[in-house]
Amino acid sequence: NFSLNGLTGFDLNGKTVGVIGTGKIGSVLVKILHGFGCKILAQDVIEDQNLINSYNVIYTNCETICKQSDIISLHVPLTATTKHLIDKEHIALMKPGVMLINTSRGGLVDTKAVIEGLKTKKIGYFGIDVYEEEEGLFFEDHSDDILQDDVIARLMTFNNVFITSHQAFLTETALTNIAETTIYNIDCFENGKVSGNEVS
């Protein structure tokens, strides 16, 4: 089926993108988005001066990102302060038709609130590689099962939702990097050294 029906997209050039979390992954996304000609807003507990100087990143808060961004991408760890960072209050601030992407941790997003946002068309596009209740669901073939999770079952009914099963890391390069970093961290721990990968 090579029909174009329902496939009309939009150009990235000139769009405002909110990047929440500008660590290793978020900073790479900033570089890519800058190459597409996007205006980039960011939020992080540590502002990266290199991103400001090299890519004109404007650091701000989550509320401003929600109000001004055409696209919002999440790249922060799940902590007590980031759980359901994207909730009904933040969704209410967003532009109509916003694209929301979460490839970080499922718990960053209140999925039920997102479903309401999708139903009202406040959220125009939703892409996830993670899901709050993914344990026992992702990495398994459930083709012949009756899906017991009503929330993800509802998400799957939207034609503007793209779900991958926590597989964004699944490249040969990434798997090699994960193995090398793990071995490095173990060596540092064994020798009483700081690896630089500690989480405080």
Please say if the pLDDT value at position 200 is more than 70: no
Which pLDDT band holds residue 5 (cuts at 50, 70, 90)? confident
Say what the pLDDT of residue 95 is.
Answer: 97
Q: How many CB atoms lie within 10 A of CB 144?
A: 5
- On the 0-12 / 13-18 / 19+ scale of CB atoms within 10 A, 6 is exposed
Query: Residue 179 — pLDDT band, cuts 50, 70, 90?
Result: very high
Answer yes or no: pTM beyond 0.75: yes
For residue 142, pLDDT beyond 80: no
Least-confidence region, from 61-70, 80-89, 136-145 = 136-145
Q: What is the DSSP code string of the chain?
A: ----TT------TT-EEEEE--SHHHHHHHHHHHHTT-EEEEE-SS--HHHHHHH--EE--HHHHHHH-SEEEE-----TTTTT-B-HHHHHHSPTTEEEEE-S-GGGB-HHHHHHHHHTTSEEEEEES--TT-TTTTTS--TTSPP--HHHHHHTT-TTEEE--S-TT-SHHHHHHHHHHHHHHHHHHHTT---S----
- Domain locations in the chain as residue ranges: 16-168, 169-200
* pLDDT higher than threshold 70 for residue 31: yes
What pLDDT shows up at residue 1? 83
16-168 to CATH, choices 1.20.1640.10, 3.40.640.10, 3.90.870.40, 3.40.50.720: 3.40.50.720
Mean pLDDT of the chain: 92
Determine contact, residues 72/20, Cβ cutoff 8 Å. yes
Six token digits for residue 102:
């979460």
Phi, then psi, of 114 in degrees rounded to 5: -65, -40
Taking the C-alpha atoms of residue 103 and residue 72, their distance in angstroms, rounded to an integer, is 11
Which band of pLDDT confidence, cut at 50, 70 and 90, is reported for residue 43?
A: very high
Across the range 175-196, mean pLDDT stands at 93
Comparing 52 with 132, which gets the higher pLDDT? 52
| DSSP letters spanning 3-37 | --TT------TT-EEEEE--SHHHHHHHHHHHHTT
The stretch 33-55 carries a mean pLDDT of: 97
Q: Determine contact, residues 6/159, Cβ cutoff 8 Å.
A: yes
Mean pLDDT of the 90-101 span? 98
What's the rounded mean pLDDT across residues 174-192? 93
pLDDT tens for 106-133 read: 999 999 999 999 999 999 999 999 988 7
pLDDT at position 168, please?
78
Residues known to be catalytic: 105, 134, 166
